[in-house]
Amino acid sequence: MMDMAALKLELVDMVSSAQDMTSLEAARVAALGKKGRITDLMKNLGTLSHEERRSAGAELNLLKDEISALIDRQSQQLRAQELQNRLANEEVDITLSPRPEVRGSIHPISQTMDELLTIFDGMGFTVAEGPDIEDDFHNFTALNFPIGHPAREMHDTFYLPDDERKDGEAQKKLLRTHTSTVQIRYMTTHKPPIKIVCMGRVYRADWDMTHTPVFHQIEGLVIDKTTSMAHLKGCLSQFVREYFEVDDLPVRFRPSFFPFTEPSAEMDIGCSRKGGELKIGAGDSWLEILGCGMVHPNVLRNCGLDPEEYQGFAFGMGIERLAMLKYGIPDLRTFFESDVRWLSHYGFDPLNRPNRATKI
Ligand code: PHE
């Protein structure tokens, strides 16, 4: 019978020097496999005397268990090591853009909003905000749309499921169809003088070249004791001239109707359409740009303001329309398609300041 201690040393050395799973498996086969060292010796036990077989058998079994346990431990260590190596090698830097060829740019709507804010801020307006999910009161009733008034139908409103109310009356919830809701929210919580703009998403069930179910509006509201139609005209004329960067841009006001303003008007800016190309500035044609008017006395009353004491004007316009006109974007729907090719064509350099914008 061979020297067990020497065999043990040899096998332990073989197993612990295996540095990957393939050599560890080779070591296992060499020790415990069908033709392995320990297996061989076990086969030879039959040739020994009874006494020798007993003690050699016990020793061999012990050795077999020790080597098996050693192989298990070594295997666990190697697997852990392998995992560490893979984690180190396959490390992903998630702070890097996966598509470095696509440079981020500012969406024309964000750019236009920044430009609008820059102009109105310069005129002394502050920004007010309101929720997208509104109720019938703020979207219609307080704005002087009587129940059943046809103007409610014109808005193609998205209604949400009614809230259960304790008093049994259902509260109609809807997605605001215009930012005029913010006029109401602001007037019911602030005393004049008021000079605010509000920008944000509005929703109407409509979809074609010039309508999308969600779009953006900017709304302005000025309330004081002597604010007049002349202030409205001055403010909006100045605004379009700054926004379109045309100092002598002609404007005209046409009578119109909104339930919440009286008198109401639509404002047009001058343009030319020679050769089928739209050019903003003095020309032979006009382009409608916004709705406006003097806040209706009923609206002031609905917000707790005395129309004998206060008066003012409001205006509202579509931000996409402003962006389309200034930057020559032909189809409204493309604003919402998130096409990176469109964005890299119409987008803006993030490092440029509004109104000094250069296209990238
Ligand atoms: N809220 C109107 C609309 O969405 C726009 C508007 C606002 C008109 C304020 C007049 C005054 O069409």
**Residue 293 beta carbon below 6 angstroms from any ligand 1 atom:** yes
Q: Which residue shows structure tokens 């990238």?
A: 360
Question: Reduced to 3 DSSP states, what percent helix, strand and coil does the chain have, rounded to the nearest 5?
Answer: 45, 25, 35
Fold of 108-359: BirA Bifunctional Protein; domain 2 (3.30.930)
CA–CA separation, 2 and 258 (whole Å): 107
pLDDT value at residue 97: 67
**Do 210 and 332 meet the contact criterion of CB atoms below 8 Å apart?**
yes
Query: Ligand 1, atom 9: nearest CA belongs to which residue?
Result: 315
Assessment of whether the complete model's pTM goes beyond 0.75:
no
In sequence order, the β-bridge partners of residue 266 are: 254, 291
Q: Tokens representing 147?
A: 């129940």
Reported as type and span, the H/E element at residue 180 is helix 180-187
pLDDT value at residue 359: 42
pLDDT tens for the chain, 360 residues: list them: 568 888 899 999 999 999 999 999 999 999 999 999 999 988 888 888 888 888 888 999 999 999 999 999 999 999 999 999 999 998 887 777 666 666 678 999 999 999 999 999 999 999 999 999 999 899 999 999 988 887 777 678 898 887 666 565 567 789 999 999 999 999 999 999 999 999 999 999 888 877 899 999 999 999 999 999 999 999 999 999 999 999 999 999 999 999 999 999 999 999 998 888 889 998 899 999 999 999 999 999 999 999 999 999 999 999 999 999 999 998 888 999 888 889 989 999 877 766 544 444
CA–CA separation, 173 and 163 (whole Å): 7
CB-side exposure of 64: number of CA atoms within 13 Å? 16
CA 321 to chain centre: 21
Length of the chain: 360
Output the CA 26–ligand 1 centroid distance in Å: 82
Q: Tokens representing 140?
A: 């219609």
**Residue 178 beta carbon below 6 angstroms from any ligand 1 atom:** yes
- Give the alpha-carbon dihedral of 97, 100, 102, 105, to 10 degrees: 60
- Residue ranges of domains in the chain: 4-89, 108-359
Residue 71: CB atoms within 10 Å = 20
**Do 264 and 291 meet the contact criterion of CB atoms below 8 Å apart?**
yes
pLDDT value at residue 305: 97
**Residue 261 beta carbon below 6 angstroms from any ligand 1 atom:** yes
